[in-house]
Structures are given as structure tokens and as C-alpha cells.
Structure 1
Amino acid sequence: MRIAQIAPLFESVPPRLYGGTERVVYYLTEELVRQGHKVTLFASGDSITSAELVPCTPQALRLDRDVHDPLPHQMLLLDKVREHAEHFDILHFHVDYLHFPLFRSQAGRTLTTLHGRQDLADHMPFYAHFPEMPLVSISNAQRAPLPRANFVATVYHGLPLDLHKPTFESRGGYLAFLGRISPEKRPDRAIAIARAAGLPLRIAAKVDKADETYFREVIAPMLGGGGVEFIGEINESEKTEFLGNAAGLLFPIDWPEPFGLVMIEAMACGTPVLAFRGGSVAEIVEDGINGRIVESVEDAVHAMPSLLALDRRAIRARFEERFSATRMAADYVRVYQKLLRKRPAPERELSMLAAHSAVMNGHAGHASAAIATQRETN
């Protein structure tokens, strides 16, 4: 199958540090290539992939100090996809809904994975206006606010099984908070829980420009007094040790979390997750098996002994069963095949003809080059 994966340009694929969407696109792309599909990745030029890369900016937009408005760059990305669209069976978008007007006429071979929250009022009339665009949710909770949208599947994220080596005997004796400093992620709750439970807390998190005031005025003052260590952003290779040595991951969210990649990263390390109920949490955390689901700081402190007593081998086993990249890619391939079966026969024939034409043009190009070379040597 000829598949185009269209990634956001804010981070590279995979991202150097924080970047959940781009990381998922990377795992999916690599697994599809491993399974034998012909995959092309539209992403920033500093991306690393075993697929064919079509660079759409020299580097990730977040790293380019000359970029002040990402929207023009995103639109140029979509135009480049449009120029190459005829060469693919499936165009798989991970850029929210920017492409809907441009690709509406090709809706039958597009798929859009929504990676963000969808409970915002402005979204609802937009999706209602484009009912033909097939969508994938990353949790059932994410799609709940959009009953009129064209969701064709829910596909949970997955990680390569060899990405994180599990630690069955954690040595750190600390609780972990990993991700992003922001009001909806509630690091303040994490600090309160750790202190009330009498356990040290290590915070490995990114501070976006939009959240600098929140960090400075709310979180930074809470760091004093001992027991809490803020270590900033960490990269992928550092996560295994950070999460694996933690006694538990705190995920005290205060928003409708669409998925929460850090939860399955912890589970891959064998580390239990203590999460506040909301969004996808009840779909990812199996209460009493790979974590505990709580409603308040007081509930969290009360649940701490049972959280720390969970079997880390069982946590890793459930991760392997439910959240592997192989399973994620297989789920998406089934969706691709379902979409292609629904396409009218003339469209399928034109797609095959376009692919054949591209191959023949390639052969013709090789033949012309060979003739030219022969003339030069004669």
C-alpha cells in the first residue's frame, strides 16, 4: 500500500525532546515500513525516518528563530501534499483540520487522526460542514463532544516494544511527573500528593512560552521546602531510566485528556500510573492492574499504598498486549483497507493507472539517461 503520512512541522519526526504527536507519527511510520508498505513522510527536513522523506521546512518550526507565524509553513506543507497526492492510496493527516477544504474532493482516500482536545465549541460547526472527511479518534472520550463528525475508528497509540526496557525492581523511591508544565496538567496537584504521601517527587517537564507565567507564579514557589526536584525537559533515551526507577507516575490532569502518551510510556517501564479521572484515563488505566484512578488529592494519597504494591511485571505485560506499535499500525491498516474498499471502482482504477504511469515514467527516465550516457561514451 502507498501511504503518505503528513506530520505537523512544529517538531521534527521524531522530536528531539517533547512532542507527542510527532513521536506517534514516527512510531507509526517506522512500523508501516517494517510491515512492507511504501510510506512517504511529509515533515520537517531534520526528521529521521526509514520512509521516503519529503522535507517541507528545513527544520522544526520550534527550533527556527526566524519563524514567528507557523500557519504559512503549514499551508505550504499542504500544497506540497496536494502536488504529490496522486501517487498515494491513502493520505493520512496528523495536522488537525487545516487540510479539509483543500482535500474535500479526495475525502475517500484521506484519513485524519485528531490528536488534540475536541470539546471546544468552535470545532462543532466545522466538522458538521465537512461530514465526508473520515476521522480517527485516539480515545472514545475524545470523540464524545462531536457526535455528528465522521469518526471511522478509535485507534489507541502504541510504542515499539523495545523502546523502553522495563524495570521490575524500581530503585529510585520517588514519584515522577513527566510532560508539560501547564494548568491543565496540574503539576501543583502532583506536588501536593507527593508531599502528603511523604515521598520525593521529580518533575521532568517542558515549559512552553505560553505557560511561563504559570510556572513562575504558581509552580516555582512550590518547589522550595524540599522533596521536589525540577529537572526540565528530558529526551527519549532518558525516559527509560527516569520512569523505570520511579515508584509511580503521577498524572493528575484537570482537562479532557485525548490520550496521554506518558501513561503508556510509564507502563512500558513497568511503572504504575496514578491518574485523575477525565478524558481517556479510564480507557488507558485499568484500576488495580496497571494503576489507580482517583478523584481528588485526598483520594490519591489514600490510594498510594495500593498503587505502589501493584505487580510491575503484570503492568508491562498489559502494555505489550494493548499498546504496541505493531498493534497500532495493524489497526490503521485495517482502517486504510476499509476506506479503499469504499472507493468507487473508477477511482480505484485511476489510482492504479497513476501508479503505473509513475513507474513507467521512472523506467523511461532511466532509459533516457542510459541512452545519453551511451552517446557520451561513443
Structure 2
Amino acid sequence: MSNRQLRIAMVAPPWFDLPPRGYGGIEAMCADLVDALVARGHQVTLIAAGRNGTRARMVRTYDVPQGPRLGEPLPEVLHAAAAGRILDGLEVDVVHDHSLAGPLLARGRSVPTVVTVHGPVAGEPGEYYRQLGDSVHLVAISDAQRRTAPELNWCGTVHNALRPEDFPYRPDKEDWVLFLGRCTPDKGMHLAIDAARAAGREIRLAAKCSEPAEREYFEAEIRPRLGEGVEWLGEVGGVRKKELLARARCLLFPLQWEEPFGMVMIEAMACGTPVVTLRRGSVPEVVEDGATGLVRDDPAELPEAVRAVDRLDPARCRKSVVERFRPEIMAAGYEAVYLRAVAARGGAPGDVPPEPDGSSPAGAAAADMLPVA
């Protein structure tokens, strides 16, 4: 790896604080990445909304995050316009953009723009990135996501990460299972309820349910299933979310779409909690079947998996996160992407590493520094 200090502008979405107080997977990932890059000696300027809980210098686009307006176009567009104006006044080597509208301003920029694709690349989202062409260097968060649209201008694959020390490891589990996610058909909450009931386990449902489509799904599929053995908790975050993940017998995550990554899976594993899920999207890259979870091909197989989950070792779940999904590993992967992007633009980054894949071996040595428990 090059010893060159990079000047990085990190553009976060405008919806939540960094790190977020509750919901906000992209913001949590950005905060961890920023801190790990600073620790590696890079100069990072964060362009975001709300408070700054990171080690980077921050320039705000909004004093208050725009989470209550999530889904409206104007906050995203105003954020992109403000970020573009801020970037005009910064001297940086690379721009790393996590927003949706921001990459539209990359064309003609004198420095490269790296864009992490946090969502799906099928349909219109894929066409959007296709239209951006080589004006941006795209980073996939899983190989599965990248295979969905291999023709896009990919510059690497870097798995998301978290700080294992921020999650409580608990080897002894309680006699109920957990669903944690958004209240949408894609996440398969209704299937989780059915599987838990068939397995004879109680289930607790912790889910964001604030947008119209989420409430519609809740009324159609979830409310009729509530009752004995099914507890609705609503949206949870912070300490309470981590406690639920640590106490649960397993995370039941019956995906119904090609999930690009799925942060909740590594959050559960960091707590020593195995994942029972379906073989969709990134799941085979994240969950080691028979070791850190049980991966099945059909929802009808989930009840058996829920009953069998006790044979898995919580310490193995935690160890997998420590070894594969730490911020230091993620930062090493992105550092390699930045150097490749600068070199492609004609810069002089020093020794340019090969394109990173999701395993990010350059940072693997750091994983040995954190004890499993």
C-alpha cells in the first residue's frame, strides 16, 4: 500500500446524523469508514447534515438532518447542490459520494469521484449508474450486487463493516428469535412470523414502519399475524437494538430480494447471534452456512433451521465479524479504490494496489488485534 496521505471529501446522505442515533445504515457505515481512514493517516472532510460524531472535519449542508422527509426529492437535491458548492472550495485528491443525486455533479470534476452503490442496481437504479458512465468509479458492497450489472464502471468490491467492540457479545441466549429491519415485503417479516410459529418459538419484531408503503404492508400482512408468541416492538436503535440482538436465540432474516449486503446480519453475528436466512443476494458472502448461521433455499425449510440453530457456536459468529468485517479492513479496501481512481485520472498515487474484492485482505492483519469475547 502507498504511504501517501490522501485528502478525501466524504459526502454522506442528508437524512441522519453521523453516526446515527437510530435507523441509518449508510450513515453508520460512513462514520466508521471516516474514523478508520483518519486513523490510517488520511485527511478527511465530511460533508453531511446534523451533528458530527466522527474524527473528520465536517462541513454541514443542513443543521438538522432531514430524516422526517426521507423519500422527498428536494432535500437530496439541495444537499447535492450545497455539497457541490462546498467541494468547489476544497483541495482534495478524491471525492467519495454516498448520496443519490451527488454523483450527477461528477462529470467534468478535476478529481475522481468514487461512489458506493448502497442499493440495488437492477431496473432504473442500474440505468442511472449506467448513464453516469465513466464519470464515477463505482464500488459494490458485495460481489452478488456487482454480478447483477457487471457492465457498470466498477472499481472494486468492499464489504461494509462495523466496530465489533461496540456490540455486546453474549454466549447465553434467550428462548425467542428476532426480526430486525424495515417493514417491507422484501425483508420477509411475514415469513419470519410464520417460520417462528411453525418452529414453536416466540418472535419479537423490531422494524421501522413510518413510510406509507411500510404502513400498508404492516396492515396487510403483519397486523393479522400479531397475537400469542408475536411481539411488535416497532423501530428500535442504539443500546436497545444491540441488547435485543445479543439476547435473541437467532436473527430470523427471510429475505425476499437480492440484498446487496445486509448490515443487520453482521450486527447479529458481532453479538454472537447466528443468522437464519435464505440464499439471496449477498447472504452466501456474509453468513457461513453451518458456522455463523443456517442458509436455506425455501421458506418451508426455515422452521427446521430455527430449531437447529442451537448447535451453532456464538463465539464463531463473533470471530467471523472480527476477522472479516472490521472498519480497518473496509478502510484498506477503500484506500485501494482511491489510489486506483487517482491513478486512472492521471495522478501519482505511488504503489497502486490491485482492485480490491470483498475480502479486503490488505486489512486482515488488523483483525487479530481484537479479542473475540
Give the corresponding residue for 1:375.
none
| 1:323 Cα deviation after fit | 0.7
Q: Deviations over 1:290-331 (max 9, x none)?
A: 001112232111222332210111111111111111111111
Give the corresponding residue for 2:153.
150
Q: Which amino acid aligns with 2:99?
A: V
**Aligned equivalents of 1:278, 1:80: Cα separation in 2:** 40
Give 1:307-322 correspondences, 5 Å limit. 307-322=309-324
Give 1:35-184 correspondences, 5 Å limit. 35-63=40-68, 69-85=74-90, 87-96=91-100, 98-106=101-109, 109-121=112-124, 123-124=126-127, 126-128=129-131, 130-170=133-173, 172-184=174-186
Contact 2:19/2:27 (CA < 8 Å) preserved in 1? Answer: yes
**Aligned equivalents of 2:149, 2:302: Cα separation in 1:** 31
Q: Which runs of 4+ in 1 moved over 4 A?
A: none
Contact 1:160/1:326 (CA < 8 Å) preserved in 2? Answer: no
2:217 aligns with one of 214, 219, 225 = 214
Contact 1:57/1:73 (CA < 8 Å) preserved in 2? Answer: no
Q: Deviations over 1:22-78 (max 9, x none)?
A: 11001111111222221111110334222111010111112479x883243233233
Contact 1:176/1:250 (CA < 8 Å) preserved in 2? Answer: yes
Q: Deviations over 1:255-310 (max 9, x none)?
A: 11010000000010010001111111111111101001112232111222332210
**Aligned equivalents of 2:124, 2:344: Cα separation in 1:** 31
**Which secondary structure does the structure 2 equivalent of 1:70 belong to?**
helix
Contact 2:129/2:152 (CA < 8 Å) preserved in 1? Answer: no
Give 1:205-354 correspondences, 5 Å limit. 205-210=207-212, 211-224=214-227, 226-345=228-347
Q: What is the identity percentage for the equivalent residue pairs of Structure 1 and Structure 2?
A: 36
Scaled by the length of structure 2, the TM-score of the pair is 0.86
RMSD of the TM alignment (CA)? 2.0
**Aligned equivalents of 1:298, 1:215: Cα separation in 2:** 22
Sort the Cα spacing of 1:140 and 1:53 in 2 relative to 1 into closer, same or farther, 3 A: same
**Aligned equivalents of 1:198, 1:245: Cα separation in 2:** 18
Contact 1:56/1:76 (CA < 8 Å) preserved in 2? Answer: no
Q: Which amino acid aligns with 2:146?
A: R
**Aligned equivalents of 1:168, 1:77: Cα separation in 2:** 47
Q: Deviations over 1:191-214 (max 9, x none)?
A: 001100001101111103131111
Q: Which amino acid aligns with 1:82?
A: L
Sort the Cα spacing of 1:129 and 1:204 in 2 relative to 1 into closer, same or farther, 3 A: closer
**Aligned equivalents of 1:252, 1:77: Cα separation in 2:** 39
Total equivalences in the alignment: 342
Give the corresponding residue for 1:369.
none
Give 1:176-215 correspondences, 5 Å limit. 176-210=178-212, 211-215=214-218
**Which secondary structure does the structure 1 equivalent of 2:221 belong to?**
helix
Contact 1:94/1:114 (CA < 8 Å) preserved in 2? Answer: yes
**Which secondary structure does the structure 2 equivalent of 1:130 belong to?**
helix
Q: Structure 1 unaligned runs (5+)?
A: 349-378
| 1:9 Cα deviation after fit | 0.4
Give 1:26-41 correspondences, 5 Å limit. 26-41=31-46
Q: Which amino acid aligns with 2:165?
A: D
Of residues 258-267 and 205-214 in structure 1, the stretch that sits farther from structure 2 once superposed is 205-214
Scaled by the length of structure 1, the TM-score of the pair is 0.85
